[in-house]
Amino acid sequence: MPRVDQSHPDNVAGQWFVDTRCIRCDAARNWAPDLIGMDASGRSVVIRQPADSEQEAAMWRAAFACPTRSIGNRAQPAGPTGVFPHLIIESVFALGNNALASFAAHSFLVTRPEGNLLIDSPRFTRRLAASVDDLGGVTHVLLTHRDDVADYDRWAERYGARVWIGESDADAAPMATDLTAGNETTLIAPGVLSIPAPGHTTGHVAYHIDDRLLFTGDALHWNQRRAELDVFPDQTMHSWEILADTMDLFATLNVEWVFPGHGMWHYAGAAEWTRQMSALGPAMRSTGQRGWSQRPDATYNWY
C-alpha cells in the first residue's frame, strides 16, 4: 500500500501523492505524464493534481501500474475496481500491476477467438485475475525474455496455459512448456509468430501478431522524449552489434503498433515503421553503444 507517512516532500498539495519508495522506473509516468514528474534523482512526484475524471482515471492507472505501490490517494486508499485490464486498441489490453521482479516491465493481454495471449507477466492479484477470467482467460503465456517472467507460473497454472520462451533464456522459466530456437521463427498459433530478437539477452524474442502488432519486450520501444523508435543502450546485456542486426530484421516486418516492455507503446504505421527501422540498425553501428547512451534523452529511467 502507498505510505502516506513517506510522502515525497516535492509532491504538490492535494489528495494524490507519491511516496519515497519509488524506484525511478517510468511505469507510472507512462500513464499520467502530465501529472507525475521527476525529482532531481529521477524519483516520481505528483506535479499536478487531477482536474477532471479523465485525469483521475489516469492517476489510478499509474497507481496500479507502480511496482512498489508508491502512488496513493488519501481519500481512497484501496482504489476502485476495474482499473486494469485497460483497453489500448481493439483486442489489446494493458494489464498494469507491473512487477518489481520484472524490473517494472509492462505486460499485455491479446484477446483472440483461438485463445487469449498473455505477453510477459504482471503481478498475480486476485482482482486482476478475476478480470482476465471475464475476458476469457489465457491459452498461451508468451515470455519475451528472462527478465520479465514475474508470476508467469501462477498465471499459467490458473488457466492450464502453454508457456513459451526462447531456449537460451529458458532457465528463467522452468515451467515453460515450449522453447523456441534462437535462429528461427516459430508459429505459435494462427497469426502468432515468435521471432528471434537477441541483443538485450541471448534468448530474447519478439511476438508478431496478425502481421501488424509487434510485442518487443526490451528490444525496442517508443522513446517519448525523443519522439522516435529507440533501443536501450545501457540495458543491452548480450551484444550491441547483434541488437542492431535484430533491428534490421524488424525492419522487414509489417508493423503498425509497437508494444514494448519498457517505455511507451506507439502507433507507427507501416510507412513510418519502415522508414525509421531501416535507419535504426545502421545508426546504431555508426554511433556505437557508448555514443548511443550519451545522447540527450537517450533512454528511459530503468532502475
The angle that helices 270-293 and 240-251 make with each other, rounded to 10 degrees, is 170
Three-state SS for 82? coil
d(CA 17, CA 47): 9
How far the first Cα of the chain sits from its last, in Å, is 20
Q: What are phi and psi of 72, to 5 degrees?
A: -140, 165
d(CA 165, CA 146): 8
pLDDT in tens, the chain (303 residues): 899 999 999 999 999 999 999 999 889 999 999 999 999 998 999 999 999 999 999 999 999 999 999 999 999 988 899 999 999 999 999 999 999 999 999 999 999 999 999 999 999 999 999 999 999 999 999 999 999 999 999 999 999 999 999 999 999 999 999 999 988 999 999 999 999 999 999 999 999 999 999 999 999 999 988 899 999 999 998 999 999 999 999 999 999 999 999 988 999 999 999 999 999 999 999 999 999 999 987 666 554
- Residue 60, C-alpha cell as written in the block: 489510478
Q: What are phi and psi of 71, to 5 degrees?
A: -105, 125
Q: Which helix (H) or strand (E) holds 165?
A: strand 162-166
d(CA 246, CA 190): 23
> What does pTM read for this prediction?
0.95
Number of Cβ within 10 Å of residue 238's Cβ equals 16
Domains of the chain: 4-73 (3.30.70.20), 86-293 (3.60.15.10)
* Nearest Cα to Cα of residue 189 among 165, 209, 213, 163: 209
Cα four-point dihedral sign 237, 171, 104, 95: positive
* Nearest Cα to Cα of residue 26 among 254, 241, 303, 277: 303
3-state secondary structure 207-222: EEECCCEEEEECCCEE
Q: What is the DSSP string of 166-203?
A: EGGGGGG-TT-SEEE-TTS-EEEETTEEEEE--SSSTT
d(CA 16, CA 38): 15
d(CA 168, CA 250): 20
- Residue 98, C-alpha cell as written in the block: 507491473
Pair 228, 185: CB distance under 8 Å: no
Whether residue 80 is preceded by a cis peptide bond, meaning omega within 30 degrees of 0, is no
Q: What are phi and psi of 41, to 5 degrees?
A: -100, 0
Q: What are phi and psi of 146, to 5 degrees?
A: -65, -25
